[in-house]
Chains A and B, each alone.
Chain A
Amino acid sequence: MGSGSGDGSTFYRIIMSTGIIPVSRPLFALVDVNNFYVSCERAFNPNLINRPVVVLSNNDGCAVARSNEVKALGVKMGTPWFQLKDLAKQHGIVALSSNYTLYGDMSNRVMSILRDFSPHVEVYSIDECFLGLQGLQSLWPIPTGIGHKIRHRIRQWTTLPVCVGIGATKTLAKLANHIAKKQPAFHGVCDFSTMSYEQYEALLSTIDAGEVWGVGRQLNLHLNAAGIKTVQALRDTPPAWLRANFGVVIERLGYELRGISCLALEEVLAPKKQIISSRSFGQLIDHLTELSESVASHTSSAAEKLRRQNSVCNAIQVFIRTNPFREQEKQYSNCMTVPLPNASSDTRLLVRAALFGLKRIYRPGYAYKKAGVILTGIDSAAVHQESLFTLHGADDRSARLMKVLDQLNQRYGRETVSVFSVGSNKSWSMQRESMSPCYTTKWQDVPIAYAH
């Protein structure tokens, strides 16, 4: 990295002798929004600024996002809300239900701002994005500059605070991002590519190997046992040894830490090979009717996702289970995979198959906590194998009907038109007791500006 000045001069001599324009080396940035869900909530509610805030998971189960104030109180990610209630009262922690509509809109804004900076973008998750910076040297001679500009612009245009990590590989960019987040001295931008050799080595020798992207808890234990404790030590381990002991994925990780890019940007999302739709119920339910409604609704939303990626599926798995944490109660869980007569993405056929399976695994007398479906055997709608017999839900009529169904639901809101009576009072739907308004996506929810 920092010792690259020697390389640079040889490079220069080569250019002089051959006149070939140098191909720029790969360079990656990882942009990550700090405490994303909490930051989105704060964007439209000044009362939450400088106060401890947590955002709770579906059904208000556990903390999935924590403000820095809450982190400072020692609250870990995923702590169940009921365990936090006393601490919350004591410190005035505000708990909010997750508002995915708001987070989705804010995420889209961030990603569209990032697309202005680079043509090479991989949206890695709702709050993380990789950028390819190769070829941008003439615009941004020092990569740190683009990092600070990104940070400033996202802050200004969306209020959201982000950190930027820059490195020669995705793994290094991710590590740099981690440092930018943990060490305030970097002011939110950590750029390995312009860092001095001494500083770089000093940093790598103080960071735990477990912080490296792709090093899980198990692997970290193995590495520690072998005496590999820091990122520096992991980088200096011969890749052949890593391959022999942990396989090719970890060998690649070793190369990535050495600055040799093995993981390319995935700019186009590969179609999913499996689509899951499930959720825990707001309250325990025992009737087949209510379970059926929930399964039908999950099937509908999974089928919609399937059609959105222009795919069909060959089988659907339906599963139900009771609450394993209520040990005093009778436990039951079961699943069944129902193959389809032919590949299809027709909601009507999929719902029929799912309910067929549900009826066979349902046992009365249990309090069910969760139900869902998994679509498997997913193929592209264009290349799937035809059947000899009459097709169920795979002809033109079906395709047209599903298209209208999707358009209606997109235009007038989810479940405007649905297959199978999806009841109006959904005792199985999510509990979201303290959800913020959808400030940016619903006219009746936009924030108030006082003129008084």
Chain B
Amino acid sequence: MTIIVPFEPTSESTLPVLQRAKLDSAVCILPLLQHRIPGGFPSPADDYVEKELDLNSYLVRNKAATYFFRVIGNSMTGAHIHDGDMLVVDRSVEPKHGHIVLAVINNEYTVKRLYACNGVIELHAENPAYPPIRLREHEELQVWGVVVGTVARFIV
């Protein structure tokens, strides 16, 4: 119920005294219990309740630096990356030898394994049908980010 208090300006800067509202017995009956209380023994698991599992926390290490890409092609099937999969790419990870990376080649994003040993830098496919990409001496390899996971959904 809305209580309306008439405002009477007074010379003093005090608030008007609130009059006690008349109780309307028909309105004031409230259910004693707002919630059902189970009659049985309290659940022993109550103290052990934790947040449910969240795939984001499993796949994403750094939200501000993580981006998703969709895979087209079969050159990485040996690394369990298939056509149509979703790549989880983290730009805050420093690319190292052996990482699967997203590189920019001919203005396209390409997913490959980074081979960086003894001054040789190559991008290796994980499928014998695709030869490695070798960088010539003056060429600069642009790594956009490091692939930290993949997600796949199956048709059901």
Contact = CB atoms under 8 A, between A and B. Distances in A.
A156 B91 contact: yes
Which of B65, B74, B83, B111 is most buried by chain A, counting CB atoms within 10 A of its CB? B65
Interface string B1-23: 01010000000000000000000
A27 B75 CA distance: 52
Contact of B87 (A47, A112, A439, A449): A449
Contacts of B86: 443, 446
Interface residues of B, number: 33
B4 A157 contact: no
Nearest to B102: A449
A450 B73 contact: yes
B72 A451 contact: yes
Nearest to B130: A452
A386 interface: yes
B104 interface: yes
Contacts of B69: 446-449
Given A46-B104, A388-B4, A440-B67, A448 B109 contact: yes
A449 B71 CA distance: 5
Interface string B93-129: 0000000001010011111100000000000010000
Nearest to A386: B2
A157 B60 CA distance: 14
B65 A446 contact: no
A448 B73 CA distance: 10
Interface string B72-88: 11111000010100110
Contacts of A443: 68, 86
A158 interface: yes
Contacts of A47: 107
A149 interface: no
Contact of B70 (A112, A159, A440, A447): A447
Contact of A46 (B4, B63, B108, B130): B108
A449 B109 contact: yes
Contact of A450 (B63, B89, B92, B110): B110
A157 B65 contact: yes
Interface string A412-452: 00000000000000000000000000011001001111111
A452 B75 contact: yes
Given A113-B64, A159-B91, A451 B83 contact: yes
B79 to A, nearest CB: 9
A274 B63 CA distance: 34
B111 A447 contact: no
Interface of A: prevailing SS: mixed
A157 B91 contact: yes
Contacts of B72: 448-452
A112 B112 CA distance: 30
A222 interface: no
B81 A46 contact: no
A109 interface: yes
Nearest to B76: A451
Nearest to B62: A157
Interface string A323-345: 00000000000000000000000
Nearest to A47: B107
A440 B110 CA distance: 18
B75 to A, nearest CB: 4
B4 A386 contact: yes
Contacts of B130: 452
Interface string A153-172: 00011110000000000000
Contacts of B104: 46
A439 B144 CA distance: 15
A439 B109 CA distance: 14
A158 B87 contact: no
15 contacts: A46-B107, A46-B109, A47-B107, A112-B63, A113-B64, A158-B65, A386-B4, A388-B4, A446-B68, A448-B70, A449-B110, A451-B81, A451-B111, A451-B125, A452-B75
Given A157-B65, A449-B71, A450-B73, 6 more contacts: A109-B65, A157-B64, A388-B4, A448-B70, A449-B110, A450-B108
Q: Which 6 A-B residue pairings sit nearest by Cβ, starting from the closest?
A: A451-B73, A157-B65, A452-B73, A449-B69, A451-B75, A46-B107
